[in-house]
Structure 1
Amino acid sequence: MAINLSLQGGHRFYINFQGEEGYLPPEEGLHAVKILRKKVGELIKLIDGKGTEYLGQIVYLSWKKRTPFVRVKIIEILRRENIPPISLKVLIPFLKGDKTEFLVEKATELGMTNLLLYQSKHTILRKRAFKKERFHEKALSALKQSGRLYLPEITFVENLSNFLESLSEEKSLKLLAHPQGTMDLLSLLDWLKAPPSQIILLSGPEGDLSPDELSLAKTKGFQTISLSPYVLRAETACMSLMCLISSLIFSIYKFS
């Protein structure tokens, strides 16, 4: 069957149902029919956040109390993405304003597999900071925009020290962004000659890690790396570390 998706642009819709037919989540359905004016019979792209992109068709549409019920049918698989061979975990500090949401978006775009949003001794949290649904929405939006097919797992770490204590000594690369970092790029490239099973990235919050947290991270195997001779904002350091690793992983192993 010859299919022309030229009118679909980059729009993809997230599905979380089992089987060949099901309903779009309410927010996805609203975007499809109210913003993009999709109608019954139209073809759309669907993603499941688990590595597969589908060609789908809208087969039913109704409204109830201003909420659209959009039923779609999967027609065929358009693309599959392999499971990431390296687990890329990033510890993202809770920051002021919407900076944490920004980092969740960018981490998703850069292919991080696990987003660990953490609270440290120097973190000041707002009451709404732990709203997981909001972070899920940001990650999903970035997933659809970027073309990636795996939605990262989002976890909340309420105590950074306890999390660090729980880390095993298994072979993995642990990197900590720090102004006085001792690892240079050549050493990092040497580490990456053989792909580790996982890479764990850590950068500090506004006000940096406490001396105890920094010492514990080093004890648990984190190697410090300097990203700039200048002082970086917390969000810049986190972003730079993710960009560095994402770029190297793609360049060395030819997977993203």
Structure 2
Amino acid sequence: MQAGDKIVLFNGKGHELTAEIADVVDHEIRLRKLHESGTAPLRCRIVLGQAIPKGKNMELIVQKAVEIGAAEIAPIISDRTVVQLDSESASQKQAKWQQIAIEAAKQCGQNWLPRVHAPKNLPEFFSASEQPFDLRLIGSLQPDAQQLKKILETYSSEHGDRPRSVLMLVGPEGDFTPAELALARRHGCQPITLGPIILRVETAAMYCLSVLSYELLI
């Protein structure tokens, strides 16, 4: 960077500032403010509860979730999660995923920085969930799973408005176990079908978030 270059700064809480580099001295950069603006939060808080998949797929999911409009990402250690995490490696993973979220937010101009939570198993996740949700959903292969569009239409009909906060749980390879699905149901999660074709984990997450983004954020 050099004098005259323009940069954009954001604080992750909706505030953006455009500045010009006035001077560069040693390790100090002096800026001249050109413009500042505020961005309202997205109209619906979408939280992705994602069972951690194999390999580096979680990195892709975090990146795309931010780009599509997720406000929070909660990595879930499910019974069928292949990746084994101790407390140290979980902390390292969380930091890495949060950095990916920051880079994705910068890339797509998302001035409200999504938060990546520490990995938890499903019981811990529900116990630690601090904020209520208008709607709780879980991707499911069960025969009684409903279409997402139908659930959203039913909610709007009953409440006279679209939900302002949604939890979307997506399982690992092989789906959540019956016990995990039963636990999610007890916590108010409605099972939704993702169609007749079985999707890869990363595809399922993007599919769900894309539908929710289209229906609730536009």
TM-score, shorter chain, exceeding 0.5: yes
Match of 2:155 in 1: 191
Match of 2:52 in 1: 94
Deviation at residue 42 of structure 1 after TM alignment: 2.1
Deviation at residue 79 of structure 1 after TM alignment: 3.4
Q: Percent identity?
A: 27
Cα distance, 1:134–1:182 mapped onto 2, change above 3 Å: same
- Does the 8 A contact of 1:51 with 1:83 survive in 2? yes
The runs of 5 or more residues in structure 1 that have no matched partner are 1-37, 64-68
Q: Secondary structure at the match of 2:146?
A: coil
Cα distance, 1:149–1:168 mapped onto 2, change above 3 Å: closer
- Does the 8 A contact of 2:152 with 2:162 survive in 1? no
User: Deviation above 4 Å: which 4+ runs of structure 1?
Assistant: 126-130, 165-171
Deviation at residue 80 of structure 1 after TM alignment: 2.0
Q: Secondary structure at the match of 1:82?
A: coil
Q: Could you tell me how far apart the structure 2 residues matched to 1:167 and 1:153 are?
A: 14
Q: Secondary structure at the match of 1:149?
A: coil
Match of 2:171 in 1: 204
- Does the 8 A contact of 1:51 with 1:82 survive in 2? yes
Q: Secondary structure at the match of 1:102?
A: helix
Which of 54, 64, 85 is the equivalent residue of 1:106?
Answer: 64
Match of 2:78 in 1: 120
Match of 2:145 in 1: 182
**Alignment of 1:48 onto 2:15:** no
- Does the 8 A contact of 2:140 with 2:175 survive in 1? no
Q: Relative contact order, CA 8 A, sep 6+: which one is greater?
A: 2
- Per-residue CA shift, 1:73-131, capped at 9, x if unaligned? 35143432102332211102211111001010011111111111111111122554542
Deviation at residue 156 of structure 1 after TM alignment: 1.5
Q: Secondary structure at the match of 1:117?
A: strand
Cα distance, 1:59–1:113 mapped onto 2, change above 3 Å: same
Match of 2:199 in 1: 232
- Per-residue CA shift, 1:51-90, capped at 9, x if unaligned? 1221112244356xxxxx3524351434321023322111
Aligned counterparts, 1:33-72, within 5 A: 38-61=1-24, 69-72=27-30
For these two proteins, the number of residue pairs brought into alignment is 209
- Does the 8 A contact of 1:89 with 1:114 survive in 2? yes
Q: Could you tell me how far apart the structure 1 residues matched to 2:99 and 2:213 are?
A: 22
Match of 1:147 in 2: 109
- Does the 8 A contact of 2:76 with 2:125 survive in 1? no
Q: Secondary structure at the match of 1:206?
A: coil
Cα distance, 1:204–1:72 mapped onto 2, change above 3 Å: farther
Deviation at residue 172 of structure 1 after TM alignment: 1.4
Q: Which moved more, 1:115-124 or 1:98-107?
A: 115-124
Question: Which has more radius of gyration?
Answer: 1
Match of 1:244 in 2: 211
Cα distance, 1:50–1:143 mapped onto 2, change above 3 Å: same
- Does the 8 A contact of 2:137 with 2:191 survive in 1? yes
Cα distance, 1:211–1:74 mapped onto 2, change above 3 Å: farther
Q: Could you tell me how far apart the structure 2 residues matched to 1:196 and 1:213 are?
A: 25
**Alignment of 1:75 onto 2:39:** no
